[in-house]
Structure 1
Amino acid sequence: TVSRTPTTTVPTAPSTPTAPATPLVTVGDWVEIGCYTEATASRALTLGTKVNYSTMDLETCSAFCYTLGALYFGVEYGGECYCGNELEAGSIPATDGCVMPCAGNPAETCGGSDRLNLF
């Protein structure tokens, strides 16, 4: 014979989404991944490089990397832009250091010394 044990379902309270610690920065379809260190033996992103210490901002860098078909872009030291399809070995999340304003738009953050804002 087959017997069935009755079951009771207890409703649970809906989960409340938690807000991220810091708001996500977006540039077009790109979303900031975070602050990263440079790679061990090279740059973290190696597909393309553009440097301009007077006009660099997130939009300029993302547009440049888009033309290269890159999956990622990153800004460093206030005026350096790097593009790539993968992070090179040794590039890891950094807890601090991405604090330099972009040369072309001081309201935006463009990495730091050996620190890359990665999108």
Structure 2
Amino acid sequence: MLYITFGVILLVAVEGVFVANENYVGCFVHRINDQWALKFFSQNFTKMAPYLCLPNCQVMEQKFFGITKNQCFCGNELHSIEVPRYRCNQRCSGKQETRCGGLNVMSVYKVTGVTIPLVPAPSKGCFFWSPTERVLHKEVKKNFQVMNQKECASSCFKIYRKLFGLANGNRCYCGNQIINGNPMAKRFCNQQCQNAQYGQKCGGPLAIEIFDLVPTES
């Protein structure tokens, strides 16, 4: 059984949560020339069933997942052609009554219950910040074209942190606890977010606003 944890939220790969028939898209050619039907290979399973592959693709925020024998794939687009469903005749090793692809074919399903961070997020307050005065443990080193709550929260969500923070209009931090929490008045966290819609605030030159990461379904 596969467990993926986020904070105190536990997403469990439970057989009864996913109804295979209702979310089945079809049987597709697994590979045409050098292109897979779904872009991302997730992992090999010793025992395979649709409900085991699903959580991997939820975390990756993909729309589809596909199974061929004991391999799990994820993607937002299908780069393949559909074939008759009887071609997907491989019994799933972890759930014999379902099918897990076949010879160069893949059983494809819709991803259900994709979990994303809630935005706008609940604020924990404004705190003193400087580039050398860390308030949250990890800075996200990424070339953000736009900075706002959504961009920063998504980055921290992917590495399973409980908090995210915005500073100086363009800097994003993640953590599970506030390290050096010297509170400041809310007015110091009033800097416009870089290239974002007017009115979106991302801390200040000497301040970081910290938010709770709250999972929600898209």
Q: TM-score, normalised by structure 1?
A: 0.66
5+ long unaligned stretches in structure 1: 1-25
Aligned: 1:83 with 2:174: yes
| Superposed displacement of residue 72, structure 1 | 0.6
Does the aligned pair in 2 maintain the 1:52–1:79 contact within 8 Å?
A: no
For 2:160 and 2:144, how far apart are their aligned partners in 1? 24
Residues 116/51 of structure 1: CA separation in 2 closer, same or farther (3 Å cut) = farther
Tell me if structure 1 keeps the 8 A contact 2:139–2:171. Answer: no
Percent identical residues: 27
AA in 1 matched with 2:202 = C
The amino acid across from 1:43 in the alignment is: R
- 1:108, distance to aligned residue in structure 2 (A): 0.7
Offset of 1:54 from its aligned partner? 4.2
* Superposed CA offset, 1:65-113 (max 9, x none): 0011111100011110000011113x22101311111113232100001
Q: How far apart are 1:48 and its partner, in Å?
A: 3.8
| Deviations 1:33-90 (CA, angstroms, capped at 9, x unpaired) | 1211128x6310113424556411110000000011111100011110000011113x
Deviating 4+ runs (over 6 angstroms): none
Q: Which residue is 2:200 aligned to?
A: 108
Distance across 1 between alignment mates of 2:195 and 2:149? 9
Aligned pair count reads 91
Alignment check: 8 A CA contact 2:129 2:167 kept? no
Q: Residues 51 and 92 of structure 1: is their aligned pair in 2 closer, same or farther, counting only changes over 3 Å? A: farther
Q: Partner of 2:183: helix, strand, or coil?
A: coil
1:92 to 182, 192, 198: 182
Per residue, is there more strand in 1 or in 2? 2
User: Structure 2 regions of 5+ residues with no counterpart?
Assistant: 1-117, 212-218
Partners of 2:179 and 2:152 in 1: how far apart? 19
TM-score by length of 2: 0.38
**CA gap 1:100/1:53 in 2 versus in 1, 3 angstroms:** farther
- Distance (Å, rounded) in 1 between the aligned partners of 2:205 and 2:161: 23
Partner of 1:44: 135
Evaluate the alpha carbon distance shift between residue 32 and residue 85 of structure 1 in structure 2; reply closer, same or farther with a 3 A threshold.
same
- The one-letter code sitting in structure 2 at the alignment partner of 1:107 is G
Query: Structure 2 CA distance, aligned partners of 1:69 and 1:100?
Result: 27
C-alpha separation in 2, matches of 1:31 and 1:70: 15
